[in-house]
Amino acid sequence: MTTDQKRRTIPLARPLIGEAEAEASRRPIMSGWLTQGPEVAAFEQEFAAYTGAKHATAVSNCTTALHLALLAVGVGADDEVITVSHSYVATANVVRYCNATPVFVDIEAATSNMDPAKIAAAITPRTKAILCVHQMGMPCDIAAIVAVAKEHGLPVVEDAACASGSEIRWDGQWEKVGKAHGDIACFSFHPRKVITTGDGGMITTNNSDYDKQFRLLRQHGMSISDRVRHSANQVIFEEHSVIGYNYRMTDVQAAIGREQLKRLPDIVATRRRLGDRYRQLLSAAIPGLTMPHEPEWARTNWQSFWVRLPDALDQREVMQGMLDRGVATRRGIMCAHREVPYQRESGYDLPESERAQDRNIILPLYPQMTDEEQDYVVEMLSEVCTQ
């Protein structure tokens, strides 16, 4: 094996998971209670405490979390939801799940997040909610978005899939994304995210009525929970008064999530160090390279670190050059309006969203990353971009 072949080991991401999670998974396995039981309840309480939210409801993934969030705020047939195209397609899909229409607004180039200045013009009599995204862990301008929403009497749902551990300054205090600063926030625990349960999601809110709806709908609309039924000393017959879903989290996932939550502060601290280091290393390495802007009121968890290539460079060629040198990258976040289900004859005017997809690439970043690995990524990117 050559030296170059040995170097082909830098993935885009790598979950930080080990013996603590393996041992935790034994608890539900040995107890015999494997789904939506005491481990799930404990994970919900601990996640609510971490974010500062009054309520947290665990579900099967962030897509199902977003679906339940939109249903809770009343999104239904023929409604419109203002959101961004520049996000994983699930953000748009959940609007369609409600038989509603996503209305896409453009993003800010510096943060890759929804541009609050574009929202008001997109509001119509059919608008039912605003669905914003904390893209790649970078907090969106939720204060400005909420201000517009309040002016028009609209609820705000935060797609916080990537934002576990991210923070915003709210009323002069640093607070976790998910408190929630809108009406509802939804998180993902997919392996690409900052903490993982294999898959899984969490919904946080301060609204008790929303929380009751989440808990009802995630388990087929059943009137009582499994825990209540199994602990009762009398026979209880459940009812199903509404059409619900099978959106439950397993206790094995929750047990893993509880251990991951303990790791989260250190994971975020390491990611922030690596993000700052990328900015220092890249600032003078490649002329014309643009990096993400972290507003002074935001603290990102650097779930992903992207760069925008100079106009003279071809995105695919740069990515292939990195792959040839053993470094995994990904193109900028997709735009849903370019996918077949969301295309329309009149097209869309979303220049910053399209530019972000076409010009940005995502670099490797994970908590186990060494300085030497990061140096190599920067060295290879500089080599590819200047050859």
Residue 11 lies in a domain: no
Q: Which is nearest to 87 in space by CA: 157, 183, 177, 178?
A: 157
Active site residues: 193
Check whether residue 256 and residue 347 sit in a common domain. Answer: no
- Residue 213 CB coordination number (10 Å): 21
Check whether residue 153 and residue 38 sit in a common domain. Answer: yes
* Alpha-carbon gap, residue 232 to 199, rounded angstroms: 31
Residue 6 lies in a domain: no
Q: Which residue has the tokens 């509880």?
A: 258
Residue 2 lies in a domain: no
* Boundary-marking domain end, from 235, 261, 287: 261
Check whether residue 256 and residue 348 sit in a common domain. Answer: no
User: Three-class SS of residue 113?
Assistant: coil
Check whether residue 102 and residue 195 sit in a common domain. Answer: yes
Check whether residue 238 and residue 208 sit in a common domain. Answer: yes
Residue 157 lies in a domain: yes
Check whether residue 317 and residue 282 sit in a common domain. Answer: yes
Check whether residue 256 and residue 343 sit in a common domain. Answer: no
Check whether residue 138 and residue 276 sit in a common domain. Answer: no
Q: Which is nearest to 338 in space by CA: 120, 72, 86, 151?
A: 86
* pLDDT for res 385: 96
Check whether residue 225 and residue 357 sit in a common domain. Answer: no
For residue 336, what are the contacts with CB-CB under 8 A and spacing of at least 6?
85, 87, 89, 91, 92, 102, 104, 342
Residue 121 lies in a domain: yes
Domain CATH for 222: 3.40.640.10
* pLDDT for res 285: 83
Check whether residue 250 and residue 348 sit in a common domain. Answer: no
* pLDDT for res 353: 98
Element (H, E) at 187: strand 184-188
Q: Which domain holds residue 239?
A: 19-261
CA distances from 197 to 18, 160, 167 (A): 12, 16, 22
Domain CATH for 324: 3.90.1150.10
* pLDDT for res 5: 44
* Alpha-carbon gap, residue 196 to 204, rounded angstroms: 17
Check whether residue 107 and residue 247 sit in a common domain. Answer: yes
Q: Which is nearest to 201 in space by CA: 94, 45, 62?
A: 62
- Residue 272 CB coordination number (10 Å): 16
pLDDT per residue, tens digit, the chain (387 aa), is 344 544 558 999 999 999 999 999 999 999 998 999 999 999 999 999 999 999 999 999 999 999 999 999 999 999 999 999 999 999 999 999 999 999 999 999 999 999 999 999 999 999 999 999 999 999 999 999 999 999 999 999 999 999 999 999 999 999 999 998 999 999 999 999 999 999 999 999 999 999 999 999 999 988 777 767 667 678 777 788 899 999 999 999 999 999 999 999 999 999 999 999 999 999 988 899 999 999 999 999 999 999 999 999 999 999 999 999 999 999 999 999 999 999 998 899 999 999 999 999 999 999 999 999 999 999 999 999 998
Residue 250 lies in a domain: yes
* Boundary-marking domain end, from 214, 229, 261: 261
Q: Which is nearest to 170 in space by CA: 139, 133, 148?
A: 139
Residue 203 near residue 69 (C-beta atoms within 8 A): yes
Residue 5 lies in a domain: no
Check whether residue 208 and residue 171 sit in a common domain. Answer: yes
What does DSSP say about strands 184-188 and 156-159: parallel, antiparallel, or unpaired? parallel
Question: What total number of domains does the chain contain?
Answer: 2
Residue 181 lies in a domain: yes
Q: What is the signed CA dihedral for 225, 229, 231, 234, rounded to 10 degrees? A: 150
